[in-house]
Amino acid sequence: MKSGSNFLLAARQCEIAELEQLAQTCELVGVIARFIHALQRERGLSNIYLGSHGAQFTGQREQQILECQAAEAEVRRHLDQLDTGSRHARNGALLFSRVAVVLHALEGLPALRARIARQAMSAAEATAAMVKLVSGLLCVVFEAADTASDPKVSKALVAMFHFMQGKEFAGQERALGGRVFAAGCIDGASLQLWRHLVDSQQGCFQVYADCSDPRVLQADHAARDPAVLAEIERLRRIGCTVRGELDTALSRDWFHWCTRRIDEMKAVEDLLAAHLRELCGRRIEQAQGELRDQRAALDALSARAASQGAATPAPYGPHLERSLFSMVQEQSRRLQAIGDELDAVRTSLNERKLVERAKGLLMAHRQMSEEEAYKALRQMAMNQGRRLVDVAGNVLSLAEVLPAVR
Amino acid sequence: MKSGSNFLLAARQCEIAELEQLAQTCELVGVIARFIHALQRERGLSNIYLGSHGAQFTGQREQQILECQAAEAEVRRHLDQLDTGSRHARNGALLFSRVAVVLHALEGLPALRARIARQAMSAAEATAAMVKLVSGLLCVVFEAADTASDPKVSKALVAMFHFMQGKEFAGQERALGGRVFAAGCIDGASLQLWRHLVDSQQGCFQVYADCSDPRVLQADHAARDPAVLAEIERLRRIGCTVRGELDTALSRDWFHWCTRRIDEMKAVEDLLAAHLRELCGRRIEQAQGELRDQRAALDALSARAASQGAATPAPYGPHLERSLFSMVQEQSRRLQAIGDELDAVRTSLNERKLVERAKGLLMAHRQMSEEEAYKALRQMAMNQGRRLVDVAGNVLSLAEVLPAVR
């Protein structure tokens, strides 16, 4: 018959197993970050390659594709290690289904590259296809952050996700600006989109700053060259306000400075990944130490009970019972507190969930594709000068008065 | 190398495994309900036995203890079957630590019964000890409801938990009223507590009604004899308003009608447990059917791709890719929707969490025991004529201005 102490130790071992699984997920997040970075570079180069009708970056693009393929292989190696056989992964279902989306999207990548190589699509189309792939990869990171069972690790993953998402908006801005400067003029839609991308970056980096360890933020600060952002701001001002002809030569400047900025972000991302790894390792070690202590305390309790002549080690007598009881109570309370803290950390992910839900509603009721639904929300936000999440909330509050879907 | 379809199927299998684990937990909840019911009867009989100085219910009490022991053995059998070896149980840590608390408390039960038998404690003390044991068992049910991974099952568990908690308040009311009628008079504290127990029952049964299947509510309604509640209301009125001498003979009437009411509740509880079992079975069957369909669809896709002369089954060609992609997308969206629905169901558990957190705060800052902290909160609520959860919220909002605990 299992005793209270069996369950006490089992609870602790569950915690350790969850942390170990989490450590594996964090490793996966790290290699996904590297893969996304490689894809972002490829997207940037492909954009200019297409924009220049094949005149620019042909060799660099091919070189970058090789790097991308290496990073992809690394992601696939990590995915192969994910234990899809263990049926008890915490929220494994959602994580696995996000992975399925990514793997499916990757099947289409070689065909996409071939079309770009023979200039059979526009720069905007190529960007859109790669944005979609990156967004699928970011969904895996989001899921990892949302299902992490440790508040500290969860917070670090929330910071990592928002940093990666912010960097992706910066990458999209690089592509958009590249197209605008290459074309030599900007239209109203591009102007709105540009502003949206700048605002979205700010929002993401704010959450990242709120959730990050002060040492990470310090290292981040140290890694940045203030001249880079100044140059980008200058080019943004030119691209976004000059309504007439733009100097098409600025396209290369824009790409150069944006790439420097994104490379700086890459260094910070590596820091964040290292921090995550270290954090997981420390938490596992700590939980293992606590398990050892608890086991030792329980052994001592049984030994004392036996030396006091009790026939069976339990019940232990009033004194020992109180020690065991306080140990059990303390553990429940601690786990409860962890749950509360996790809920608090996850609220920073709720905004994204609201937007996802509003998108789903539009897809169901307006027969829109996912992209169309997102664009519709973004357009509403831009027209009304409000935040995307507020518009999403409004759409959802209308759900009750909408007719039921067939 | 694992493909998208591997992960698609793995996600589905995760869901099934979680449902199977959930079915096991629901079985455990069912036997816990039966055990609690037996403990409640034993508590009621012990109360009158002590109140009558051993003159009443001696034999019935001994008989009831045997029934209790049988129900306890059944709970232990189910606990032994819980897979503490599988380290990946969803939120296993918290569930296991709740179980540890219960098993530890059960160690003290034989000693408690011996003290009651030789009338070495008051009826109030005996009640308090058994209330604590039942509350530990209810914590296991709460945890099961809070960590269920299926919205429908989670909702049914939320209903079950609140019904069991309401029934427990009814049992405490039976004990309190029994003491009051046996003593022949009521003091201010008992009067306040009585009102609190009646209000708490109403709160619990309201959540139960909100979360329950209409068929369950209909069966509930059919199982009740309206005369029972009428008699109880009449006796409540006498006990709570007559300030002078009470007819001590009413003690037996009170016990009779309360017991009839609680036995009726027991019938409803059995219904709820059967409903839960059926629900889990149906959900598992459904998920298995969907897994079969999905597997068949994937096989058909590969076969078609092979017959179209593709060297490898993937990529499948544009048409088949779209089918696979929509399958993957649909699954992610469905799992996302499940997560949202779960969040909504769990909000009905938040009130209890708030109260737990406020209790923890008082214990830390005021060096109170758990019981003292709960009593303090309840007293504040009664004094201010407000709901317990509002008082708890107030206490928590003061947390920031309290000095840090050493």
pLDDT digits (tens, 9 = 90+) for A386-404: 888 888 888 887 765 655 5
SS3 A122: coil
pLDDT at position A85 is 60
User: Within an 8 Å CB–CB cutoff, is residue A11 touching chain B?
Assistant: yes
User: Within an 8 Å CB–CB cutoff, is residue A295 touching chain B?
Assistant: no
Q: What is the DSSP string of B54-101?
A: T-SSHHHHHHHHHHHHHHHHHHHHHHHHS-SS-TT-TTHHHHHHHHHH
**Which residues contact residue B300 at a Cβ distance below 8 angstroms, ignoring those fewer than 6 apart?**
none
Q: What's the token pair of residue B271?
A: 């219904």
Q: What is the DSSP string of A52-85?
A: TTTSSSHHHHHHHHHHHHHHHHHHHHHHHHS-SS
- Please name the residue of chain A whose CA is at the shortest distance from the CA of residue B2: A80
SS3 B37: helix
B93-132 pLDDT per residue, tens: 888 888 988 998 898 899 999 999 999 999 889 999 999 9
Residue B331 has its nearest CB partner, among A97, A331, A332, at: A97
pLDDT at position A320 is 57
A4-47 pLDDT per residue, tens: 888 888 888 888 888 888 888 899 999 999 999 999 999 988 98
Q: B379 or B241, which is more confident?
A: B379
Q: B305 or A301, which is more confident?
A: A301
pLDDT at position B293 is 87
Over residues B313-330, mean pLDDT: 61
As a whole number of angstroms, the distance between CA B90 and CA A27 comes to 21
Q: What's the token pair of residue B255?
A: 């016990």
Q: B46 or A371, which is more confident?
A: B46
Chain B interface, best mutation among A81, A91, A96, A351, by max B CB count within 10 A: A96
Q: What is the DSSP string of A270-305?
A: HHHHHHHHHHHHHHHHHHHHHHHHHHHHHHHHHHHH
Nearest-5° Cα angle at A246, A245 to A249 = 135
Burial, B237: exposed, middle or buried (Cβ in 10 Å; 0-12, 13-18, 19+)?
exposed
Over residues B12-23, mean pLDDT: 85
Residues of chain B in contact with residue A104, where contact means CB-CB under 8 angstroms, are 4, 321, 324-325, 328
Ranking A337-346, B16-25, B385-394 by mean pLDDT, the lowest is A337-346
3-state helix, strand, coil in chain B (%, to 5): 85, 0, 15
**Which residues contact residue A69 at a Cβ distance below 8 angstroms, ignoring those fewer than 6 apart?**
none
Confidence of residue B279 (pLDDT cuts 50, 70, 90): very high
Q: B266 or B337, which is more confident?
A: B266
Burial, B152: exposed, middle or buried (Cβ in 10 Å; 0-12, 13-18, 19+)?
middle
CB A258 within 8 A of CB A173: yes
Q: What's the token pair of residue B338?
A: 């499940």
Q: Do A103 and B335 touch (CB under 8 A)?
A: no
Chain A interface, best mutation among B88, B137, B324, by max A CB count within 10 A: B88
Ranking A20-29, A84-93, B128-137 by mean pLDDT, the lowest is A84-93
Place of tokens 């958009």: A176
Between positions 197 and 226 of A, the ones with CB within 8 A of B are: none
Is the per-residue pLDDT at B363 higher than 90? Answer: no
User: Within an 8 Å CB–CB cutoff, is residue B87 touching chain A?
Assistant: yes
Between positions 312 and 341 of B, the ones with CB within 8 A of A are: 314-315, 321, 324-325, 328-329, 331-333, 335-337, 339-340
Percent of chain B scoring above 90 in pLDDT: 37
Over residues A240-268, mean pLDDT: 88
Residue B97 has its nearest CB partner, among A149, A332, A360, at: A332
User: Within an 8 Å CB–CB cutoff, is residue A183 touching chain B?
Assistant: no
Is the per-residue pLDDT at B211 higher than 70? Answer: yes
Over residues B16-31, mean pLDDT: 89
Is the per-residue pLDDT at B181 higher than 80? Answer: yes
- Could you report the predicted ipTM of this complex, rounded to two decimals? 0.74
Is the per-residue pLDDT at A372 higher than 90? Answer: no
Ranking A225-234, B215-224, B381-390 by mean pLDDT, the lowest is B381-390
For residue A107, the tally of other CB atoms under 10 A from its CB is 16
Between positions 341 and 400 of A, the ones with CB within 8 A of B are: 353, 356-357, 360, 370
From residue B349, alpha-carbon distances to A61, A65, A176, A205, B168 in Å are 54, 51, 47, 33, 17
pLDDT at position A341 is 80
As a whole number of angstroms, the distance between CA B217 and CA A330 comes to 39
Query: Domain segments of chain B: what residues?
Result: 4-283
How far does the CA of residue A124 sit from the closest CA of chain B (Å)?
21
- The amino acid occupying position A215 is R
A98-151 pLDDT per residue, tens: 898 899 889 889 999 999 999 999 988 999 999 999 999 999 998 888 878 888
Place of tokens 């859109």: A128
CB B182 within 8 A of CB B49: no
Percent of chain A scoring above 90 in pLDDT: 37
